[in-house]
Amino acid sequence: MCGIVGYVGPDEALPIVLEGLRRLEYRGYDSAGVAVLDGGLGVVKRAGKLGELEAALDEEGNPTGSVGMGHTRWATHGAPTDRNAHPHLDCGGHVAVIHNGIIENHQSLRVRLEKEGHSLVSETDTECVAHLVEEKLRDGGPLADAVRAAVRELEGAFSLVVCSLDEPDALVGVKVSSPLIVGLGDGETLLASDIPAVLHRTTTVVPLDEGMLVEVRAAGATFTDLDGMPLDPAPITVDWDVARAQKGGYETFMRKEIDEQPAAIRDTLVGRMVGERLVLDELRGSDDALREVTKVFVVACGTAFHSGLVAKYAIEHWTRLPVEAEIASEFRYRDPVLGPDTLTLAVSQSGETIDTLEAARHARRQGSQVIAVTNTVGSSLAREADGVLYTHAGPEIGVAATKTFATQMVSQYLVALYLAQVRGTKFPEEIAEVLTELDQLPAKVERAIALDDQVRALAERYRDARDVLFIGRHTGYPAALEGALKLKELSYVHAEGHPAGELKHGPIALIEDGVPVVAVATRCHVYPKMLSNIQEVRARGARVIAVATEGDTEVGALADHVLHVPATPELMSPVVVTVPMQLLAYHVATMRGCDVDQPRNLAKSVTVE
Ligand code: AGP
């Protein structure tokens, strides 16, 4: 979850590196620093946000030079202090290292290095690397070899960028499980942990694969594996222009991304139907293997997990295969029953969530077919899976997942339909009918977004609530979970999602006069039960906000407030009913003065376990 930016080219490195770090701020961080090869090795680093670093640079004077790197740190080992901020140096101050991820054997390395006379001054795992590289450089040879030798002694999931006074014209980067990309510019080359950091300089990028090392010089990049064997990865052209990755006139990325949901759904659906057949070429898997599947797992975290809970209903209904949606960080430790006849869907918008990555790796090791559903081209998950379905939501900068949630559900509907197609559990015309219903989702989401003013008024009324419950049945249950997550992660208000049928088994004890309850009560086979649940909480003083189907007048007699959304087939309704709950969370958080794009304690991509 740390941010990495490096630059080698004809221009001053510092401003370019700082601009790149600004574009990575959404990843969440608590300290920052830069290193510039300016004849010496100029390093400035501070706890806090980039503003603190820039103030320090003003005080100490900006290091000048055309080779530099920068880092934003989200603390994992060691508190967010100046001393623990990156870059970290070796004893002689000749080598600087920045790092993303976790080095699991750093304690034993620290003991060995200190016994050998090295002086380590921080609490971080990263600092070991600088001293290891210092040690390997004593053997002579290029910096790249020293980095390869150092990496061979490291255990964990990380990416690194290293520079040294011994080679003042180069940066060396290496990827071992955490993301790292190279930006190929015009007479300049960049390194970064995420694509937006380089878009102001180039749209041609090379995502590094596992175990790949790159030497970056102004003339370009040289790629090898950790044994030094040359590699020649193909660059990709990113179609996110800088404008699109910016806020485009909105106050926050999140509000912009809520409005982008209809387009994101359309982009995810485009080109999926050729004649009468659904085509998912990215799956790369063989239809025969999919025909042998007897069970499906969906593994993911947070909002992505909620999308998997929704998908479970659709996959089971359309394919008659049993489906288990499981929290990724639980999946690999519960010894799941996996094999060639199981299909594992690993859902992750970043494609770098380490819990989901490790769950997918576990599934593959057990012989399961793994299909990634991700929003990030070239991400680790995309490259490690047997097949990948991209969600095409475009960059989602706000930490709270909105448009990627919608496209994760839509993509999993496509996987479910594809399974039904290859297994013959649905006729072509039935599949075509469902695809037509999917094509209608963008317009329905547009109409749900149009509830914004009504939702804002409700947010004004309930902005100071201490506890909020979200309830639903069938696909309304994962929608309720997602609504609760949005409210709690954005506004820091305590919110819980529950299956409505569970209220009487405990949660109803939370109901007292004035407690807001958001009830997902759209027309479906469990609607009458939802009406009963609304009555049981209102009888105890709850203030009920019902999300109901346009034209429904019945629920209005029971609830305090009704948000009417367009009628949608039940299996797809979470794509639509979640929108007013996203807006509710957004407005409550804004009214409470919360940082909507970067909620406290959270990061956009959780790359540490
Ligand atoms: C949701 O709003 C949060 N940002 C968080 O729960 C997120 O969905 C989760 O961390 C998974 O992220 P991923 O999709 O990148 O794997």
280 three-state secondary structure: coil
Closest CA to ligand 1's atom 16 = 348
pLDDT digits (tens, 9 = 90+) for 551-605: 999 999 999 999 999 999 999 999 999 999 999 999 999 999 999 999 998 988 8
Q: How far apart are CA 47 and CA 12, in angstroms?
A: 24
What is the CATH code of the structural domain delimited by 448-591? 3.40.50.10490
The CATH architecture that domain 3-242 belongs to is 4-Layer Sandwich (3.60)
- Nearest atom within ligand 1 for CA of residue 349: 14
| Residue to probe by mutation, ligand 1, list 347, 412, 606, 609, most atoms within 8 Å of CB | 606
pLDDT of residue 80 exceeding 90: no
- pLDDT of 306-346, one tens digit each? 999 999 999 999 999 999 999 999 999 999 999 999 999 99
Question: Residue 244 above 70 pLDDT?
Answer: no
Work out whether strand 295-300 and strand 277-278 pair parallel, antiparallel, or are unpaired: unpaired
Nearest CA to ligand 1 atom 13: 348
Domains of the chain: which residue ranges?
3-242, 247-439, 448-591
Select the more confidently predicted residue: 84 or 27.
Answer: 84
Q: Are 164 and 149 in contact (CB under 8 A)?
A: no
The closest residue, in CA terms, to atom 5 on ligand 1 is 302
> Which residues have CB under 8 Å from 488's CB, separation 6+?
494, 495
State which amino acid sits at residue 411. Answer: S
- Percent of all residues in the chain with a pLDDT value above 90, rounded to a whole number: 78
Measured by CA distance, the residue closest to atom 4 of ligand 1 is: 400
The dihedrals phi and psi of 57, each to the nearest 5 degrees, come to -65, -40
Confidence of residue 284 (pLDDT cuts 50, 70, 90): low
Residue 401 CA: which ligand 1 atom is closest?
A: 2
Residues in the chain, total: 609
Residue 243 reports pLDDT greater than 60? no
| Helix, strand, or coil (residue 519) | strand
Residue pair 516/529 in contact by the 8 Å Cβ criterion: no
Three-state SS annotation for 116-128: CCCCCCCCCCCHH
Report whether 577 contacts 547 (CB < 8 A). yes
Predicted confidence (pLDDT) at residue 359 exceeds the cutoff of 70: yes
Report whether 58 contacts 7 (CB < 8 A). no
Helix (H, G, I), strand (E, B) or coil at 261: helix
Pocket of ligand 1 (CB under 6 A): 301-304, 348-350, 353, 356, 399-401, 489, 605-606
CA of 301 to the centre of ligand 1 (A): 6
Radius of gyration of the chain (CA): 25
Class in CATH terms, 247-439: alpha beta
Q: Each residue of 409-448: pLDDT tens digit?
A: 999 999 999 999 999 999 989 999 999 999 999 999 999 9
Max CA pair span of the chain: 81
Name the residue of 27, 194, 306, 353 whose CB sits within 8 Å of the most ligand 1 atoms, as the mutation to test its pocket.
353
What pLDDT, on a 0 to 100 scale, did the predictor assign at position 557?
94
Q: 29 pLDDT band (50/70/90 cuts)?
A: confident
Query: Which atom, in ligand 1's list, is nearest to the CA of 405?
Result: 8
Angle at 563 between CA 479 and CA 558, to 5 degrees: 95
**221 close to 214: Cβ distance less than 8 angstroms:** yes
Identical fold at 247-439 and 448-591?
yes
Phi/psi-derived region of residue 248, left when phi > 0, alpha when psi is between -120 and 50, beta in every other case: left
pLDDT at 139: 85
Which of the residues are catalytic? 2, 604
In the reported structure, the alpha carbon of residue 605 is separated from the centroid of ligand 1 by a whole-number distance in angstroms of 7
The tens digit of pLDDT for each residue in 149-194 reads 999 999 887 899 999 999 999 999 999 978 899 999 999 999 999 8
Instruction: Determine which helix (DSSP H) or strand (DSSP E) holds 496, and give its type and residue range.
Output: strand 494-499
pLDDT of residue 241: 64
Torsion on CA atoms 216, 217, 218, 220, rounded to nearest 10:
-60
Look up residue 549 and give its two tokens: 């189907």
DSSP 195: G
**In the β-sheet with 171-176, what is the strand arrangement from edge to edge?**
88-89, 95-103, 156-164, 171-176, 212-217, 220-225, 230-231
Instruction: Tell me the best of 178, 303, 405, 607 to mutate to test the pocket of ligand 1, counting ligand atoms within 8 Å of each CB and taking the most.
Output: 303
pLDDT at res. 1: 57
Instruction: Give the residue-averaged pLDDT of 373-401.
Output: 86
pLDDT at 245 over 60: no
